Amino acid sequence: MLLTTRQLFQKCYGRYAVPAVNVFFMEEIHGLFSAAQEANAPFIVQTTPFARDYAQADMLLSMIGAAARIYPHVTYAIHMDHGYEEHIFDAIDKGGYTSVMIDASHDNFETNVARTKAVVAAAHAKGISVEAELGVLAGVEDDLTVDAEHSFYTNPKQVEDFVHATDCDSLAVAVGTSHGAYKFSGGQGLQFHILEEIQRRLPGFPLVLHGGSNVVPEVIERINAAGGKLKTDAKGVQEEEVRKAIPLGVCKINIATDTRLLWTMVNREFFHDRPEEFAPTTPGKIFMEEYKKFMLKKFDLFGCTDRAGDFSE
């Protein structure tokens, strides 16, 4: 069942969160859809402009469509993450997406509002949901880099004004996360008082947590033991933080870094331990199974296991 993110959030608000997972290639899509069908959990499959440039939009959407046929008992949305107008209007015109994100968070408030309103008007005319962003996250994602000194937390008063001015369907907020593998190296964690104040001002409005990966220390250690050179001083979003954020209106939690680290771990270990191997399919099978196990745990953590039935009512 293909839905918009607005439809997903209307059911899950305050009860559970829906994972939004960035995909680049076939093995990730197989692992994601397979896990979701087994868990009977709703999910969001999302692509970035970088992924569209890498694999081509038609290839990505065709693989997602094929997965929906292979795993027919899934409930999901297709979302464009961190889009700019050239990508967003192309996606709206050509179809395939049920949700888009306009990332104008680096602009001033008035420009962000104007750009978001234009996207909302075009997307809503075709029944497509819109995610916007207010506040700037530090870190690295795809080809986007933001230094810590240029990041800032979301202002709850501005959130209220922004949502009323733009009519966006959900909002990504900066509450202490960051993109990439080196999040939380300062140990600050999520700023729950910001989420609480936003919920007080806009009860029922869905929020999005970008940079939601956990960055498991064991995974980093295994990568480095197999020849990697990743830093070990980072801490991702902890499980107890996720559980605390969901009742405060966080409906969508983005995952990208954890799956990249998982791919790196599987492939580094495989070729480190089997230097005579060269076929990509063998580690690919291992990765798909590890990816599935990873997602099954995320569905449980986010509280959305066995929640797909909410959308058949």
CA 171 → CA 2, 103, 134, 246, 300, distances in Å? 21, 10, 7, 14, 24
Q: Regarding beta strands 170-173 and 144-146, do their DSSP bridges make them parallel or antiparallel, or are they unpaired? A: unpaired
Considering only CA atoms, give the Rg of the chain: 19
Sheet architecture: strand order including 138-141: 144-146, 138-141, 178-179
What are the φ/ψ torsions at residue 277 (nearest 5 degrees)? -80, 155
For residue 58, indicate whether it is catalytic. no
Indicate the residue type of 222: R
Give the separation between CA 305 and CA 36, rounded to whole angstroms.
8
Torsion angle in degrees (nearest 10) through CA of 177, 178, 184, 185: -170
Catalytic residue among 81, 103, 142, 258: 81
Q: 117-145 burial by CB neighbour count: b if 16+ within 10 A, else e? A: bbbbebbeeeebbbbbbbbebbbebbebe
CA 246 → CA 163, 196, 207, 227, distances in Å? 20, 11, 9, 37
Give the separation between CA 244 and CA 250, rounded to whole angstroms.
9
Q: Which two tokens stand for residue 146?
A: 């933001």
Give the separation between CA 313 and CA 3, rounded to whole angstroms.
14
The residues annotated with a catalytic role in the active site are 81
